[in-house]
Amino acid sequence: MGRVQNKACVVTGAGSGIGKATALRLAEEGGKVVVSDINVESAQKVADEIKKSGGIAIAHKTDVSDFKQCEDLIETCVKEFGTVHVVVNSAGVNIPGVFHEVSNEIIDKTLNVNLKGSMYTCRAAIPHMLKHKNGSLVNISSVNGIVSEPFLTVYSASKGGVVMLTKGIALDYAKLGIRCNAICPGWVDTPINYAHAEMMGGLDKIYKEIGNFQPIGRPGEPIEIAHLALFLASDEASFMTGSIVSADGGMTAQ
Ligand SMILES: NC(=O)c1ccc[n+]([C@@H]2O[C@H](COP(=O)([O-])OP(=O)(O)OC[C@H]3O[C@@H](n4cnc5c(N)ncnc54)[C@H](O)[C@@H]3O)[C@@H](O)[C@H]2O)c1
């Protein structure tokens, strides 16, 4: 038996990075996975990889900033796999900039994808989870949901919102079988950071000096976040709800 055997799982932003590693890990542990991304080609590749290894997966094109598409995502999971037990919200954007120079469009996009996207999928999934009084929602926030960094004010505001979204859902549904937890990753080696790295002097420079802000002295790997997402999704985390769990190489220990 796998650790999420037969659970119906939705992972957003699953075409790349942390979401991809999480979708693969859930499938390895017996989960049936809807691999969702705005980039459907990348989602399809991940779903194909899962199926090739004997797992169960389908791809879904979702722009999480659109509630109707989030509803369709959850309905697709229910239609294919009977219900929804797990949602991992990993879709995200990080568009860095000097706060007063950032356009209102960038502000809207950042909040719509990072914060409202997580709200939308949770809201669409909860009515199904209430039917069987069982569900686990895992939101990928960020260390920037707890502490900010230069050029990341808007991103940090969106991720701080995800922390409070997580706590609010946890309280509202604690007695109804639905758990909601958030992960706050430090710097993980994925494309979402490339623009920020550019503003900070380039990826090579960042990785040479990473020990100055991430004590472990290296970037995280997506799989290191996926292991934690799997744990929180599974019944092994049955006493955890409303938890904000850092996986950041010691960044927020300072
Ligand atoms: N990489 C890090 O250092 C780091 C640190 C802290 C938090 N995070 C968070 O982890 C999550 C995953 O990021 P990642 O590092 O895997 O980056 P990534 O760029 O590898 O993956 C992000 C995915 O989200 C998808 N996406 C973007 N906009 C979308 C939308 N509107 N609808 C649906 N999908 C959309 C992209 O297509 C991409 O596949 C994000 O929420 C990010 O903020 C990442």
| Closest residue by CA, ligand 1 atom 25 | 13
| Closest residue by CA, ligand 1 atom 19 | 192
Smallest CA-to-CA distance from 147 within 92, 97, 214 is with 214
Quick check: CB of 142 below 6 Å from ligand 1?
A: yes
Quick check: CB of 251 below 6 Å from ligand 1?
A: no
Residue 41's pLDDT is: 98
The preferred substitution site among 16, 110, 210, 252 for testing ligand 1, maximizing ligand atoms within 8 Å of CB, is 16
Is residue 187 classed as helix, strand or coil in its secondary structure? coil
Quick check: CB of 190 below 6 Å from ligand 1?
A: yes
Q: How many Å is the maximal CA-CA distance in the chain?
A: 53
- Atom in ligand 1 nearest the alpha carbon of residue 20: 16
- Atom in ligand 1 nearest the alpha carbon of residue 39: 37
Torsion, CA 73, CA 78, CA 79, CA 80, rounded to 10:
90
The values of phi and psi at residue 98, to 5°, are -70, 125
Provide the terminal-to-terminal Cα distance of the chain, rounded to the nearest Å: 40
Gap from CA of 142 to ligand 1 centroid (Å): 11
Residue 101's pLDDT is: 97
Burial of 186 (0-12, 13-18, 19+ CB in 10 A): buried
Quick check: CB of 126 below 6 Å from ligand 1?
A: no
pLDDT averaged per 10 residues, the chain (length 254): 98 99 98 99 98 98 98 98 98 97 98 98 98 98 96 97 99 98 98 94 96 98 98 98 98 96
* CATH, domain 8-244, list 3.40.50.720, 1.20.1440.230, 3.40.50.970, 1.10.238.10: 3.40.50.720
Residue 23's pLDDT is: 99
Let me know if 155 is a catalytic residue: yes
Question: Token pair of 88, please?
Answer: 């991992």
Residue 133's pLDDT is: 97
Residue 243's pLDDT is: 99
Residue 184's pLDDT is: 99
Is residue 2 classed as helix, strand or coil in its secondary structure? coil
In the set 155, 173, 194, 207, the catalytic residue is 155
Gap from CA of 24 to ligand 1 centroid (Å): 16
Quick check: CB of 158 below 6 Å from ligand 1?
A: no
- Domain ranges within the chain, ordered by starting residue: 8-244
- Atom in ligand 1 nearest the alpha carbon of residue 19: 16
What whole-number distance in Å separates Cα of residue 37 and Cα of residue 65?
11
